[in-house]
Amino acid sequence: MDEKIRILVVDDEKVVRNACHRVLTGKGYEVATAENGQQALEVLGQETVDLILLDLKMPVMSGEELLEITSTKYAHIPVIIITGHGTVDTAVECMKKGAYDFITKPFQIDPFLITITRAAEKRKLEQKARQFEEENIRNLYDLNLEKSRLKTIINRMANGIMVTNRNLEVVLHNPALMRLMEISEGIQSPAPISKIINDESLTKTLKQILNGETSEDESISQEISTGINVLKAISAPALGPDKSVVGTVTVLEDITAFKQLDQMKSDFVNMVAHELRSPLVSIRQLNSVLLEGLAGPLEEKQQDFVNRGKNKIDSLLELINDLLDVAKIEAGQYVQRQVPTDIGKIIEEIVALMEPRAREQGITLTFSCQDLTPVHADPKNIEEIFNNLVSNAINYSPEGGQVTISARGQGEYMEIKVEDTGVGIAPEELPKIFDKFYRVKHPKTRQVIGTGLGLAIVKGVVEAHHGTIDVESAVDKGTIFRILLPVITK
C-alpha cells in the first residue's frame, strides 16, 4: 500500500496548524487543516482521512465534542489529542473515550513524529488487515460459487460420474450413476465401490490406475453390463496438486440402445449372408458343371465368360464367409474344437501356400520358429489368423518388400509375429484397424481389394483363444503384428 497517509490537523491556533503542516508534509504525509470541530466534520465528510490531530480547546465545537462524534462515526480513524501541560488529565479522559494517544504542547519534534508514525503504522496495518479480510470473503464467495456450479453440472449430467479415493471408496457420485445402476436408496459417501458397481473388470482397471500402472493422461475404456443396461466406462486417474494419484474418476455412458441397434444390424447382415450363400453355392456348382463340359462343350468365349463369373462368385462367397465368421465370433460360437496344435506346421503350410503369391508381387517371404510347444487351439482358426496377417503384409507392401513370420515359445506364452517392410499405418489409424469394415485410405494401397473384415476376425479369434494382439507400425517403414497365445502347460 503506497498511498500517502492523510492527516487532519484540527487546531484553532494558526501557528500550530502551520507548524504541523510544515513538519508533516516534510515527512511525506498529506495534511488537511481545520480551525474547529465543525470545520473538521466538513472535511471528514468530503475527504478520506487516515489520522486526526485534535486540539481540545477550540471555539464553535470543542475537541471533546468532536471526539464523541468521530469515536462512533469514524471509529476507524485514530485520533491524537493535542494538549497543554495543564490539561493532561482531560487528555487521559479522552483516551478512555477512544482517542489513540496524546501529545503535549509545546511540541518537541522527535516525540511528536514518533507518536504520529506509530499512529500512521497502526492505521496502515488496520487497512491491510481489512483488505485481507475483504479479499478472503471474496475468495470464499468465489469458491462457493464455483463449487455449487460444478455440483449443478455434475448433478445434471446424463452420464454417470463416480470418483473414488485411494481405498477404492466412492467419494462422489451423481444421480445419473444411481439411475444407470438402478439404485434407489441414498448412498452415503464414502461408500465401498461394491455398493454401487460390482464389476470385476472395472474394479481391476481402477486398481491398476491406483497402482500407477497407467500414465496420467491415459483413460481406459471398457464395457460393463449391469444385467439390464450396457455401459461404457471411461476411467482415468484423479491427480493431486503434486501429480500423484489420489483416486480415480469414471464416466459411465449408457450404450444399451446402441448395442441393441448393433445387434439388430449384425443379425440382419448375418441373415442376408446366410440367405445369399446357398443360391450362390448352387450357381457356383452349375458354373463348374458348365466349365467341365458336362452340359455340352463350350466355345472359348463362353468358357471365358463362365470362368469370370465363377471367379466373381468365389470372391462373393469369400466375403459372405467372412461376414458369417464375424457373426459367429460375436456370438461366441466361432471356436469349435480346440486341440493341441502345432503352430510350426501351420506356419510351414501357410508359407508354402502364400509363397507363389508373394513372389508374384516381388516380395520375399521367410519364417523362423524357436522353442515351440503346442497350443490349445482350433487349427482352422490359427490358419485364418496367418492367412489374414500374411496376405495383409503382402498386399500392403510395395515390390521388393520383406515379410517375416516368426513364432517363439516364451514360457507360458507363444509369441507370434508377422512383420513387413510395407507402407505402414499412421498412428491415428492404429486404434481403428481392428474394427469391422475399417480400411485405411492410402494412395499406395488403393488398388488392394478388401472388405476390412480380416483384422476383426483375427482379433476375435485371438481373444477367443485367451490371447492378445497388438500392432506397431511406422509409416513407409513397416508394420509388426504381435500375438501372444497361451501354450499348454503340463
Residues in 455-484 at the binding interface with ligand ATP, rule: CB under 6 A: 455-456, 479
Site for ligand ATP contains 398 (CB under 6 A)? no
Q: What count of other Cβ atoms lies within 10 Å of the Cβ of residue 19?
A: 17
If the CB atoms of residues 53 and 457 are measured against Mg ion, the closer one turns out to be 457
| Burial (Cβ within 10 Å: 0-12, 13-18, ≥19) of residue 453 | buried
If the CB atoms of residues 127 and 321 are measured against ligand ATP, the closer one turns out to be 321
> How far is Cα 457 from Cα 429, in angstroms, rounded to an integer?
18
If the CB atoms of residues 327 and 394 are measured against Mg ion, the closer one turns out to be 394
CB 351 to ligand ATP: min, Å: 16
CB 425 to Mg ion: min, Å: 12
Which part of the chain contacts Mg ion (CB under 5 A), choosing from 47-55, 69-77, 153-161, 454-462?
454-462
> How far is Cα 393 from Cα 419, in angstroms, rounded to an integer?
7
Site for ligand ATP contains 401 (CB under 6 A)? no
Cell of 138: 471474496
Site for ligand ATP contains 388 (CB under 6 A)? yes
CB 390 to ligand ATP: min, Å: 9
| Angle subtended by helix axes 454-464 and 300-330, to nearest 10 | 40
> How far is Cα 56 from Cα 50, in angstroms, rounded to an integer?
19
If the CB atoms of residues 256 and 387 are measured against ligand ATP, the closer one turns out to be 387
Site for ligand ATP contains 235 (CB under 6 A)? no
Out of 387, 452, 484, 486, which residue is the one contacting ligand ATP (CB under 6 A)?
452
- Cis link prior to 431 (omega < 30° from 0)? no
Which part of the chain contacts ligand ATP (CB under 6 A), choosing from 9-17, 303-311, 339-347, 421-429?
421-429
Parallel, antiparallel, or unpaired: how do β-strands 245-254 and 364-370 relate? unpaired
User: Sign of dihedral through CA atoms 344, 347, 349, 352?
Assistant: negative
Inter-residue contact 205 to 235 (CB < 8 Å): yes
Site for ligand ATP contains 421 (CB under 6 A)? no
Out of 392, 421, 473, 479, which residue is the one contacting Mg ion (CB under 5 A)?
392
| Burial (Cβ within 10 Å: 0-12, 13-18, ≥19) of residue 125 | exposed
Report the candidate in 466, 298, 454, 289 with the shortest Cα–Cα distance to residue 385: 454
Out of 127, 440, 482, 486, which residue is the one contacting ligand ATP (CB under 6 A)?
440
> Which of ligand ATP, Mg ion, none sits in contact with 341, Cβ below 5 to 8 A by type?
none
> How far is Cα 206 from Cα 210, in angstroms, rounded to an integer?
6
Site for Mg ion contains 454 (CB under 5 A)? yes
Cell of 463: 481373444
If the CB atoms of residues 450 and 486 are measured against Mg ion, the closer one turns out to be 450
If the CB atoms of residues 367 and 438 are measured against ligand ATP, the closer one turns out to be 438
CB 392 to Mg ion: min, Å: 4
Site for ligand ATP contains 433 (CB under 6 A)? yes
Site for ligand ATP contains 103 (CB under 6 A)? no
If the CB atoms of residues 392 and 397 are measured against Mg ion, the closer one turns out to be 392
Parallel, antiparallel, or unpaired: how do β-strands 364-370 and 402-410 relate? parallel
Inter-residue contact 78 to 123 (CB < 8 Å): yes
Site for ligand ATP contains 392 (CB under 6 A)? yes
Q: Which residues bind Mg ion (CB under 5 A)?
A: 392, 454
Q: Which residues bind ligand ATP (CB under 6 A)?
A: 388, 392-393, 396, 420, 422-425, 433, 438-440, 450-456, 479
